[in-house]
Structure 1
Amino acid sequence: MKAALMYGPNDIRVEETDKPLCPKDGLILKIMSVGLCGSDIRNLTTDSRKGNYPFIYGHEIVGFVDEIGEEQIKYKVGDRLFLFPGTYCMECDECISGHSENCSNTAVAKLAGTGGFAQYVAVSGEKIRRGGIYDIPDDVSFDAASLGEPLTSVFACLENVKVGYPDTLVIIGAGPIGCFMAQLAKIRGAQKVIMIDINEKRLEMAKQFGIDITVNSSDEDPIEAIKTLTGGKGAAKVISATPVNATQTQSIHMVKKGGLVVFFGGVPKGSMTELDCNLIHYNNIWIKGHFGASYSQSKRAFQLAISPAFPTEKFVTHILPLDKINEGIQLTKTGEAIKVVLHPWD
């Protein structure tokens, strides 16, 4: 089969490799669309495997069943499936407490995490039994269904922090995730959504997702801009959706007294964010970290992604063959693309 193999940082080669064997209690999924995620790009451009190469990334996987094992009875050849990368044991303390996204059973959590930048992926029987595989209706495109994965964490975040009317919400970062957040915030009833970024092209593209005001932080002080736009009070909620420590530092200066700040974007490992703790203390600012989604949230996010209420066609700006994965990475990094979806069979 054809696959995009990573041999090191920025060394991604599309070449022929062995098709995976079908597990006797599992299946082989023929991948029709796979989204290019920001975390994929971070992994592909750094020494993410610490020398353990080659490796196939890609986790926003949709396709149809190409082959089933002799002991597999749940699915049949031809079924259209969305493969959620998270898998939860539902037995550990984290799962039982309602935070299955933090499942401490690492063996279970890694059952279906990656391997999507290829024409086929094997799905084990244990993954099928544990769940996280959803049927794609016949009238929904594979490209649209692939957005079910990146939407999941956004869906969970906005639900967990109760974004809604009459919130003024500030989103720092106009990448795909920031755009998802803006659109979903409006669906949830946020009164005003303000987007901050340093890339004017990204900000212009983001305006179609219900954003009321954009702020280019390379042209003006974003903290002062938010204070001005909110009559000096600050926003009800601020989400830092970038991989940059500086935006986390800025975010607590943009939120109102008693407001909520969310650290959504992962920053470089080992890096430290400088915070004004007196400001946090005396202004009663709440800070929440966000990662992942529960099983319930992943299913509902997928249902939203394939529904008419969510304009998937606006988010997918580039559809490229797998051979052009490196072009897709550059389009995303420069801000020319909102969401790149790769087709392994084109």
Structure 2
Amino acid sequence: MKAALMYGPNDIRIEETEKPKCPQDGLIIKIMSVGLCGSDIRNLTTDSRKGNYPFIYGHEIVGYVDETGPDQTKYKVGDRLFLFPGTYCMECDECISGHSENCSNKEVSSLAGTGGFAQYVAVKGEKIRRGGIYEIPEDVSFDAASLGEPLTSVFACLENVKVGYPDTLVIIGAGPIGCFMAQLAKFRGAQKVIMLDLNDSRLEMAKKFGVDITVNSSKEDPIEAVKKLTDGKGADKVISATPVNATQTQSIHMVKKGGLVVFFGGVPKGSMTELDCNLIHYNNIWIKGHFGASYSQSKRAFQLAISPTFPTEKFITHILPLDKINEGIKLTRTGEAIKVVLHPWDE
């Protein structure tokens, strides 16, 4: 099969490699669409595997069942499936406490994490039994269904922090995740969405997704801009959706007294964020980290992604063959693309 193999930072090669073998109690998915995620780009452009290469990334996977093992009875060849990458044991302390996204059973949580930048991927029987595989209706495109995964964590975040009427919400980062956040915030009833970024073209595209006001942080002080736009009070909620420590530092200066700040974007491992703790203390600011989603949230996010009310066509700006994955990375990093979807079978 054809696959995009990573051999090191920024070294992604399209090669022929062995098709995975079908597990006795599992199946093989023929991948029809796979989204290019910001975390994929971060992994592909850094030494994410610490020298353990080659490796196939890609986790926004949708396709057909191509083959089933003799002991697998739930799905049949031809079924159209969405493969949620998270898998939870529902037995560890984290799962039982309601935070299954932090499942501590590493063997279970890694069952379906990656391997999507290829023409086929194997799914173990244990993944099928644990859950997180959803059937795609015949009238829904694979491209639309692939948005179910990136939408999941955004859906969970906004639900967990109760974004809704009459919130003024600041989103830092006008990438794909920031645009998903803006659209969902409007669905949930937020009254004003302010988007901050350094890239004018991204900010312009963000206006398509319910953003009311954009601020280019390279041209004006973002903290002063937010204060001015909120009559000096600050926003009800601020979400830092970038992989940058500086935006986390700025975020607590943009929120109102008693407001909520969410650190959504992962920053470089080992890096430290400088915070004004007196400001946090005396202004009663709450800070929440967000990662992942529960099974319930993943299923509802998938249902939203494939519903006619969700504007899939506005989010997917580029559809490319897998061979052009490096072009997709460049388009995303420069801000020309909101969401890139790759087709492993296109030439």
Q: TM-score range by the shorter chain?
A: over 0.9
Which residue in the other structure is 1:74 paired with? 74
TM-score by length of 1: 1.00
Question: For 1:262-300, what per-residue CA distance to the aligned partner results, in whole angstroms no more than 9, with x for missing partners?
Answer: 000000001000000000000000000000001110111
Deviation at 1:171, TM superposition (A): 0.1
Deviation at 1:309, TM superposition (A): 1.7
Deviation at 1:136, TM superposition (A): 0.2
Quick one: distance in 1 between partners of 2:235 and 2:260? 9
Quick one: distance in 2 between partners of 1:193 and 1:40? 27
Which residue in the other structure is 1:224 paired with? 224
Q: Which structure 2 segments of 5+ residues have no match? A: none
Q: How many residues align?
A: 346
Quick one: distance in 1 between partners of 2:44 and 2:150? 18
Q: After superposition, where does 1:243-322 map in structure 2 within 5 Å?
A: 243-322=243-322
Question: For 1:52-89, what per-residue CA distance to the aligned partner results, in whole angstroms no more than 9, with x for missing partners?
Answer: 10000000000010000011100000000000000000
Quick one: distance in 1 between partners of 2:164 and 2:316? 26
Quick one: distance in 2 between partners of 1:119 and 1:289? 35
3-state secondary structure, aligned to 1:91: coil
Question: For 1:186-232, what per-residue CA distance to the aligned partner results, in whole angstroms no more than 9, with x for missing partners?
Answer: 00000000000000000001100000000000100000000000000
Question: For 1:302-330, what per-residue CA distance to the aligned partner results, in whole angstroms no more than 9, with x for missing partners?
Answer: 00000012111100000000000000000
TM-score by length of 2: 0.99
Quick one: distance in 2 between partners of 1:201 and 1:303? 30
Deviation at 1:338, TM superposition (A): 0.2
Q: Which structure 1 segments of 5+ residues have no match? A: none
3-state secondary structure, aligned to 2:215: strand
Quick one: distance in 2 between partners of 1:309 and 1:294? 23
Question: For 1:224-245, what per-residue CA distance to the aligned partner results, in whole angstroms no more than 9, with x for missing partners?
Answer: 0000000000000000000000
Identity %: 90
Quick one: distance in 1 between partners of 2:179 and 2:308? 17
Quick one: distance in 1 between partners of 2:49 and 2:93? 29
Q: Report the aligned-residue RMSD.
A: 0.4
3-state secondary structure, aligned to 1:126: helix
Question: For 1:128-187, what per-residue CA distance to the aligned partner results, in whole angstroms no more than 9, with x for missing partners?
Answer: 000000000000000000000000000000000000000000000000000000000000
Quick one: distance in 2 between partners of 1:308 and 1:259? 34
Which residue in the other structure is 1:173 paired with? 173
Q: After superposition, where does 1:89-128 map in structure 2 within 5 Å?
A: 89-128=89-128
Quick one: distance in 2 between partners of 1:279 and 1:223? 14
Which residue in the other structure is 2:12 paired with? 12
Quick one: distance in 1 between partners of 2:23 and 2:278? 56
Deviation at 1:247, TM superposition (A): 0.2
Quick one: distance in 1 between partners of 2:295 and 2:238? 25
Q: Which runs of 4+ in 1 moved over 2 A?
A: none
